[in-house]
Amino acid sequence: MDRRFSLTTLFCASVLAAFTAVPCVSAQGPDIFVTPVPKAPFSAVIDVQRSMVQPNGAVIQVKSIREIGRDSKGRIHNEARELIPVSSHDTPRVRRIHLYDPQNRMSVMVDPNAKTFWTTIVNHPPSTVPPALQEASPTGNALPANDFTRKEDLGTSGMEGMTVHGVRETQTIPAEASGTGHEVVVVDEYWYSEDLRINMLIKHNDPRTGSVTLAVTQVSRAEPNAAMFEIPENYKPAGR
Distance of CA 165 to the CA centre of its chain: 17
Mean pLDDT of 111-138: 74
Residue 13 has pLDDT above 70, yes or no: no
Contacts of 87 (CB under 8 A, 6+ apart): none
pLDDT band per the 50, 70, 90 thresholds, residue 52 = very high
Q: How many Cα atoms are found within 13 Å in the side-chain-facing hemisphere of 143?
A: 0
pLDDT band per the 50, 70, 90 thresholds, residue 71 = very high
Which residues are paired to 184 by β-bridges? 173
- Pick from 8-17, 26-35, 43-52, 164-173: least confident: 8-17
Residue 10: per-residue pLDDT:
45
Q: Distance (Å, rounded) from C-alpha 82 to C-alpha 66?
A: 9
pLDDT band per the 50, 70, 90 thresholds, residue 128 = low
- Pick from 68-77, 92-101, 145-154, 178-187: least confident: 145-154
Question: CA–CA distance from 125 to each of 80, 193, 206, 227 (Å)?
Answer: 20, 21, 31, 22
Instruction: Tell me the domain boundaries of the chain.
Output: 9-225
Residue 26: per-residue pLDDT:
35
**CATH architecture of residue range(s) 9-225:** Clam (2.50)
Please count the residues of the chain.
Answer: 240
Q: Distance (Å, rounded) from C-alpha 232 to C-alpha 110?
A: 9
Residue 145: per-residue pLDDT:
57
Read off the amino acid at residue 198.
Answer: I
pLDDT averaged over every residue in the chain: 83
- Could you please report the per-residue DSSP string of 142-163? SPPSSTTEEEEEEEEEEETTEE
Per residue, what are the HEC states of 60-113?
Answer: EEEEEEEEEEECCCCCEEEEEECCEECCCCCCCCEEEEEEEECCCCEEEEEECC
More confident residue, 133 or 62: 62
Q: Tell whether pTM > 0.85.
A: no
Residue 29: per-residue pLDDT:
62
Nearest to 82 by CA among 29, 175, 20: 20
The model's pLDDT over 177-213, given as tens digits with 9 standing for 90+, comes to 888 889 999 999 999 999 999 999 999 999 999 999 9
What is the phi/psi pair of residue 3, to 5°? -70, -25
